[in-house]
Amino acid sequence: MRHRLLALALLAALSACQRSEAPPAGSTAPAPTEADAAVDAVADARFAQLSQRALDGWFAVSPVSATQIGDHRYDGELDDLSAEGRARALELARELLAELDAIDAARLSRENQVDAAILRNQLEGEIWTAETLQSWAWDPLLYNSLAGGAIYGLMAREFAPLPERLQSATARMEKLPALFAQARENLDPARVPKIHAETVAQQNRGILALVDEFITPNLDQLDGAQRERLDAAVAGLRAAVAEHQTWLEETLVPNAAGDFRIGAGLYDQKLRFALNSELTRQDIRQRAEADIARVRDEMYSIARTVLKDAPGAPALPERPDDDQRQAAIEAALELAYAEKPGREEVVDFARQTLEQATAFTREHDLVTVPDDPVQIILMPEFQRGVAVAYCDSPGPLDKGLDTYYAISPIPDDWSDEQTDSFLREYNDRMIHLLSIHEAMPGHYLEGAHSVKHPSTLRAVLRSGPFAEGWAVYTEDMMADAGYLGGDPLFRLVQLKFYLRAVANAILDQGVHVDGWDRERAMELMVRTTFQQEREAAGKWVRAQLTSAQLPTYFAGAQEHFDMRRAVEQARGEAFDLKAYHDEVLATGAPPVRFVRQLILDEPIR
């Protein structure tokens, strides 16, 4: 999953942009009159100035985000989430929105019209989050992610010499006790959901794991007064983490009484900001339910093929009832589950599948493959417990650094039965799909292309539905291209993986709007969409911890599929798949509706 909680919570709330004033390549808009051209130039110049002010202002109030994005002016600073700090950030957002309101978007270039719409959605979403959702008062994950990211963002990549980064880490570690104190001051246990409190209590010590991995092995890089200051900062952080752990376990967890369900009103508003799409909650539900029926029928057709003449195969009638369809698909999936890695082999096998997916993408000339480096790593401890994997691209202002394809290890305390459940879900073919989704030609490739767009706004506020939708789209595209020799079991597992995206969209609103309990959620995931118990159990936790993120996979994929059909229809025999993919990725990952409008020369709405 490309977007870690930290990236979502902080980049979406406190990020900035620079402008590109150039019109889009290939634009066929009518040439403006001389008067209009003068007005357009003035409007674009005002927008560029506004963007620069946003860049400078937001990076100053969100140093951790600035580091992740690649602006290293504030590497020794830490976000201030006190009441005063939040008020400053909110005031900045209001000022920027007022300046944006004063600009006539219709007078902007088409590219800047897109960016103005993205910026407006960003600012309005930030204000709504601060004033209405108020996650700072009930979501302890925000503080934990910020604390871990403060160190991880400095130490995980070599954007500067190690001694320089260690000095910045020293300064931040000195400030982290104040962040923990702000968390204890801001969080109201009566509003904190129990699942959030328990999850953070499990993650909190992972901050020290970052210190043990990145800081203590390199203490000898500093000497004299700098070394003494670093040692003191580490000791102070260890004490602060222990103090915070005691508060989490003895105060927050026992008294956490909030409802993890945010309700229809908040959900619909949050979904609107998260998707920036023309698809509503009702549209998503209708499309998702229709897709479940369609995909299950296609899976049954494959099952009839792979189970034909197999000993002990279930009944395979041409027109099955629901139970017959269920039994046949489950029996066919068992053939795929039989081929799975060992408990300690998942990461090594993922490396192998990444090599295969990369070679296949190049050989079949599906899209331009970048040369940017990518590494498969174990997911840092402070980020575990929400997703199995994610793609962590370098900040858009940091050039030439590695992308990380992170995989969460199987927990040491899992039983053999739980481990087997996990490995059945993440069988050989599923890990191929995971590498397609997270890396090639999914998130890694998309990120490497998107960052080349001249608008830093689009890189910093990279659309989640665009990124997740692209990754889901590429799973289907690779299967269509004959990946793994057109293996029908690969197509079967790919359809199952797609059903997870479909189920995500239904599950999210089922939990937060319709009040689903665990039993209802597990029925959707385990029976209807064929997920193994460990996968479904983890997704049930994730649905409680997050809202309006799980639908990004399905909603984004639907928009990508719709857009490709529209462009194919418009271009007819002139349609070229690789050229189309490169063109889509060259837009810099704005919401998909804007990509479609740019490519098809439609009005920017």
For the chain, give the percent of residues with pLDDT over 90.
82
Name the burial class of residue 31, with classes exposed (0-12), middle (13-18) and buried (19+) by CB atoms within 10 angstroms of its CB: exposed
pLDDT at 36: 45
Helix (H) or strand (E) holding 255: helix 253-255
Which residue would you say has higher pLDDT here, 66 or 384? Answer: 66
Three-point CA angle 194, 198, 202, nearest 5°: 170
pLDDT at 310: 92
The whole-number average pLDDT for the span 53-59 is 88
Distance CA 285, CA 509 (A): 8
Which residue would you say has higher pLDDT here, 66 or 26? Answer: 66
Cβ-Cβ contacts under 8 Å for 516 (sequence gap 6 or more): 507, 510
pLDDT band (50, 70, 90) for residue 134: very high
72-75 — which CB contacts under 8 Å span 24+ positions? 72/159, 72/160, 75/154, 75/165, 75/168, 75/171, 75/172
- The DSSP bridge pattern shows strands 403-407 and 374-378 to be parallel
Tell me: the pLDDT tens digits for 498-524?
A: 999 999 999 999 999 999 999 999 999
Distance CA 473, CA 497 (A): 11
Q: What is the dihedral of CA 435, 438, 443, 447, to 10 degrees?
A: -90
Distance CA 580, CA 528 (A): 34
Distance CA 137, CA 527 (A): 37
Cβ-Cβ contacts under 8 Å for 92 (sequence gap 6 or more): 57, 58, 61
Does residue 173 sit in helix, strand or coil?
Answer: helix
Q: Over 60: is that where the pLDDT of 25 sits?
A: no
Tell me: the pLDDT tens digits for 106-124?
A: 999 999 999 999 999 999 9
Q: Over 60: is that where the pLDDT of 30 sits?
A: no
Distance CA 482, CA 332 (A): 19
Tokens of 153: 């963002």
pLDDT at 389: 86
Query: Looking at residue 192, what DSSP letter applies?
Result: S
Q: Is residue 184 within 8 Å of residue 177, measured between CB atoms?
A: no
Distance CA 184, CA 169 (A): 23
The whole-number average pLDDT for the span 80-86 is 98
pLDDT at 388: 81
Distance CA 444, CA 376 (A): 11
Q: Over 60: is that where the pLDDT of 24 sits?
A: no
Tell me: the pLDDT tens digits for 186-213?
A: 999 999 999 999 999 999 999 999 999 9
The residues that bridge with 153 in the sheet, in sequence order, are none
pLDDT band (50, 70, 90) for residue 353: very high
pLDDT at 460: 82
Tell me: the pLDDT tens digits for 551-600?
A: 999 999 999 999 999 999 999 999 999 999 999 999 999 999 999 999 99
Tell me: the pLDDT tens digits for 160-169?
A: 999 999 999 9
Sheet holding 389-392, edge to edge: 374-378, 403-407, 389-392
Tell me: the pLDDT tens digits for 361-398?
A: 999 999 999 988 888 988 887 667 656 888 988 988 88
Q: Over 60: is that where the pLDDT of 14 sits?
A: no
Tokens of 445: 């490739």
Does residue 427 sit in helix, strand or coil?
Answer: coil
Average per-residue pLDDT in the chain?
Answer: 92
Query: Looking at residue 574, what DSSP letter applies?
Result: G
232-237 — which CB contacts under 8 Å span 24+ positions? 233/169, 233/170, 233/171, 233/173, 233/174, 234/173, 236/173, 236/174, 236/177, 237/173, 237/176, 237/177, 237/207, 237/208, 237/211
The whole-number average pLDDT for the span 434-451 is 94
pLDDT at 459: 81
pLDDT at 411: 87
Q: Is residue 175 within 8 Å of residue 76, measured between CB atoms?
A: no
Tokens of 257: 């009484």
pLDDT band (50, 70, 90) for residue 279: very high
pLDDT at 473: 98
Distance CA 268, CA 369 (A): 37
Q: What is the pTM of this model?
A: 0.90
Distance CA 65, CA 15 (A): 7
Sign of dihedral through CA atoms 533, 536, 538, 544? negative
